[in-house]
Structure 1
Amino acid sequence: MNTPPSPSGAEHTDGSSVRLGALVPLTRPGWVEAGRHLLAGLDLAVREVNDAGGIDGRPLELVVRDTAADPERAAAAVDELAHLGVAAVVGEYHSVVARAAAARADALGVPFLCSSAVLDALTEEPTEWVARLAPAQSHGWRIYADFLLRAGRRRIAVATQPSVYWASGTRVLRDHLAPRGGTVLELDATLTPEALCDALVDHGATALLLLVGHPEPAVPIVRAVRGDRRLAEILVGAPAGQPEFAEWAAALGGDGAGIPFLRYLPERLGPLGERVGKELRERLGEAPSFVAFEGWDTVAVLAAVLRSHGTDRAAVAESWPRVAVEGTRGPIQFSRTPGISVWQWTWTPIHVADRDPAEPDRFRILHAG
């Protein structure tokens, strides 16, 4: 497994640094753009911690491993990072990958603060070793379902691929919509885009949700639907957040606007969020996504924990219920939440947003959770 140079700038081989292992998708088939934003947030926060004196005078070092969206690779990385003596593991964007990492961290007794993955069942059994910043899928996707109902969209079609994550999302939508008069039709994303459009027309769907990978098959599906006059009134949505990233806009242009997605940001950032956002924009050369803010908040939490409770792994894990940190998106605390097996921030701010069709580089807030 290749190790990129530590982006924190803290190269210490004498054991004097406090190490954090970071799991990030940096190569395909991982969502590389999401990984780049996550790493930018992690790295910026590490640099700021070190500029402020580190952890009791010891520099914080980020030891990065590329998961490439591969659960087995992520589990192996946790093994390696544990052997390297990291105080904790952080990061990961893909839910199925984070689940594998969480299971391995739990088995090894290594604290894992998950930055960005949302699958409810991050571990099979309740664990003291894992905490999470991102909202659980059941929470966020119910908010998205409420948005659909409010928009008058009750005949929902989902273009979906085989995945625990997409299946879980479909179940959340169906369970929330059915008692409120909504229906969910599953369409296999292996259908040709033209056949998918025919199915949408045949079933009278009022919304199509893209529960698929990006750029394939999401981009050709969007192009086909946008180009089909029979579907001029259908709402195309992407609850998993694909339109958040510049890569989406670059691939689809105007066709990628007006597609609502879940965004884990407040309607307005406070002073801390504004400052960090400005720094992230300079690093990334583009507007930071909510994933970049998740990265910064992750390190802010761990730095506070390490300063207050030390670098012993058990002490870090025992500290989750006592965390009280000001993050870029609000005060962060962890609690036990029914149905969630890990320590959970309940909840990060959430809104449904889209890219403005009149100005695709600008985001509009459509619904707040």
Structure 2
Amino acid sequence: MNTPPSPPGVERTDESAVQIGALVPLTRPGWVEAGRHLLAGLELAVRDVNDAGGIVGRPLELVVRDTAADPRRAAAAVDELARLGVAALAGEYHSVVARAAAARADALGLPFLCSSAVLDALTEQPTEWVARLAPAQSHGWRIYADFLLGAGHSRIAVAAEPSVYWASGARILRDHLAPRGGAVIELDMRALAPTAVCDELVDSRATALLLLVGHPEPAVSIVRSVRHDQRLAGIMIGAPAGQPEFAEWATLLGDDSAAIPFLRYLPERLGPLGARVETALRERLAEAPSFVAFEGYDTVAVLADVLRSHGVDRARIAESWPCVAVEGTRGQIRFSRTPGISVWQGAWTPVQVVDRDPAEPDRFRILHTG
């Protein structure tokens, strides 16, 4: 039903199958846990499509490639998958990696439905070949900024690593907070050790620190340093990119993992399809599924609908984005052109700001919705 990652030339495929290339971070330095959840959603949807008769009688098949959070590796995988004849691409979690894949897919004329990456400028120029399910970064991070203001935080420090994604996030926060009396103080993590962050926070009089850094490091070390510095007992730590979403966060940090708000793309209550998929994903993952797993499922659901309606011709698939109307796990999925966004953008899924409950770190609390 799907093919595990394998070297070029060692594919085990059904010649009658309709193939989708899947880009997923499965090894370090990629966010492996996110990749595992994304792949679980993709695979479950493929199983459901095939159980329902496939694509007009033909089985649907994933051809999986590990991007390992490496843009060059992702671009090479797009080239390889295009040569193998996949009808479309799906997946990817890391925004910088998805941007490299999207640029290559656009150049080759290969439809790409990006599952999870949120960077607004997923391609340098507007493209007809790429669509995206996840809410754009500017949408979600503005909601996060509103949460910060509502919680009484106007002096926000960001511990940031160099990256297009982190720089974009800091700019969105600054642009949204400044007209409302807020200030963003950037701490360059190329120059600061996690322990030195504490001194900077004291000097800056910030009331909140946002982690715009990689997982698990240096995020975990920063949290430990701040949480155990008595001078910073009242500071809020936040992680808009979602580091606390996955179980590894709680495993590594224990009680320190709680009360760190992050963005999650789920409704307060799932409908019948979402509830059924949640049960199946929980069984497959042996843990509660993250929103990333639902994004994976919805990606295949959309592509299967398009393939049934428009066939496997790549140009016809790309032309179909504005015609999509699919019931997903978190609501109706449609695509449109959104100002400032270079790809076909899925209508916004619900956005939540949540954290892990200090009384029960395995339970999430909804703090704000948008």
TM-score after normalising by structure 1: 0.97
Which residue in 1 is equivalent to 2:141? Answer: 141
Matched, 1:20 2:16: no
Q: Following TM superposition, by how much is the alpha carbon of 1:145 offset from its aligned partner in structure 2, in angstroms?
A: 0.2
**Residue matched to 1:162:** 162
- The Cα shift of 1:195 comes to 1.3
In structure 2, C-alpha distance between the alignment counterparts of 1:113 and 1:126, rounded to whole Å:
15
Aligned to 2:342: 341
Q: CA deviation at 1:228?
A: 0.8
What number of residue pairs does the alignment pair up? Answer: 364
1:42 and 2:42 are equivalent in the alignment: yes
Match of residue 296 from structure 1: 297
The amino acid of 1:346's aligned partner reads: A
In 1, the alpha carbon distance for the partners of 2:105 and 2:195 equals 44
Alignment of 1:202-213 (within 5 A): 202-213=203-214
SS of structure 2 residue aligned to 1:147: helix
> Structure 2: how far apart are the matches of 1:149 and 1:3?
45
Deviation at 1:229, TM superposition (A): 1.0
Matched AA of 1:82 = A
Report the counterpart of residue 327 of structure 1 in structure 2: 328
Pair 32,81 (structure 1): closer, same or farther in 2 beyond 3 Å: same
Question: Does the Cα contact within 8 Å between 2:6 and 2:65 map onto a contact in 1?
Answer: no
Please report how far the alpha carbon of residue 268 of structure 1 lies from its aligned counterpart in structure 2 after TM superposition: 1.1
The CA distance in 2 between the partners of 1:270 and 1:95, in whole Å, is 28
Counterpart-to-counterpart distance in 2, 1:116 and 1:193: 29
Contact 1:11–1:61 under 8 Å retained in 2: no
1:193-216, Cα deviation, whole Å (9 max, x unpaired): 221101101111000000000111
Which runs of structure 2 are paired with 1:276-287 in the superposition (5 Å)?
276-287=277-288
Q: What is the CA–CA distance in structure 2 between the aligned matches of 1:48 and 1:165, rounded to whole Å?
A: 34
Q: Paired residue for 2:67?
A: 67
Shift of 1:3: 5.9
Q: Could you say which residue in structure 2 is the equivalent of 1:153?
A: 153
Structure-1 separation of matches of 2:4 and 2:265: 30
Q: Which residue of 2 aligns with 1:238?
A: 239
* Cα shift at 1:142: 0.2
2:107 is aligned with 1:107 = yes
Distance in 2 between residues matched to 1:172 and 1:77, nearest whole Å: 31
Between the aligned partners of 2:254 and 2:368, the Cα distance in structure 1 is: 23
SS at match of 1:33: helix
Contact 1:3 1:66 in 2 (8 A): no
2:96 is aligned to: 96
Alignment check: 8 A CA contact 1:134 1:348 kept = yes
User: Which residue is 2:119 aligned to?
Assistant: 119
C-alpha displacement at 1:189, in angstroms? 1.8
Partners of 1:266 and 1:329 within 8 A in 2: yes
Partners of 1:268 and 1:212 in 2: CA distance: 30
Residues 120 and 150 from structure 1, CA distance in 2 versus in 1: closer, same or farther, beyond 3 angstroms? same
| Separation in structure 1 between the aligned mates of residue 195 and residue 56 of structure 2, nearest angstrom | 61
Give the match's secondary structure for 1:365.
strand
Distance 2:296 2:361 in 1: 25
- What CA deviation, in whole Å up to 9, does each residue of 1:202-251 have, x standing for no partner? 11100000000011100010001100111111110000000000010000
Aligned to 1:172: 172
CA distance in 2, matches of 1:28, 1:195: 27
| 1:271 shift after superposition | 1.0
CA distance in 2, matches of 1:49, 1:158: 43
SS of residue in 2 equivalent to 1:86: coil
Aligned to 1:113, what secondary structure does the other structure show?
strand
* Partner AA of 2:102 in structure 1: A
Amino acid across the alignment from 1:342 = V
SS in 2 for 1:146: helix
Q: Which amino acid aligns with 1:149?
A: L
Partner residue, 1:261: 262
CA displacement at 1:4 relative to structure 2 = 2.1
For residues 102-161 of structure 1, what are the alpha-carbon distances to aligned partners after superposition, in whole Å with 9 as ceiling and x for unaligned? Answer: 000000000000000000000011100000000110010000000000000000000000
Show the counterpart of 1:197.
198
What is the alpha-carbon distance in structure 1 between the residues aligned to residue 167 and residue 187 of structure 2?
12
Match of 2:80 in 1: 80
Give per-residue Cα distances to partners, 1:164-204, cap 9 Å, x unaligned.
00000000000000000000000012412221101101111
- 1:348, CA displacement in angstroms? 1.1
RMSD: 1.3
Q: Secondary structure at the match of 1:297?
A: helix
TM-score, with length taken from structure 2: 0.97
Name the CA distance, whole Å, in 1 between partners of 2:4 and 2:13: 15
- Percent identity at matched positions? 81
SS at match of 1:74: helix
Shift in Å, 1:267: 1.1
Q: Distance in 1 between the 2:123 and 2:193 partners? A: 36
Give, in angstroms, the shift of residue 61 of structure 1: 0.5
Instruction: Give unpaired runs (5+ residues) of structure 1.
Output: none
- Are the counterparts in 1 of residues 88 and 314 from structure 2 also a CA contact under 8 Å? yes
Question: CA-to-partner distance for each residue in 1:37-63, whole Å, 9 max, x for gaps?
Answer: 000000000011001110000000000
Residues 215-230 of structure 1 aligned to structure 2 (within 5 Å): 215-230=216-231
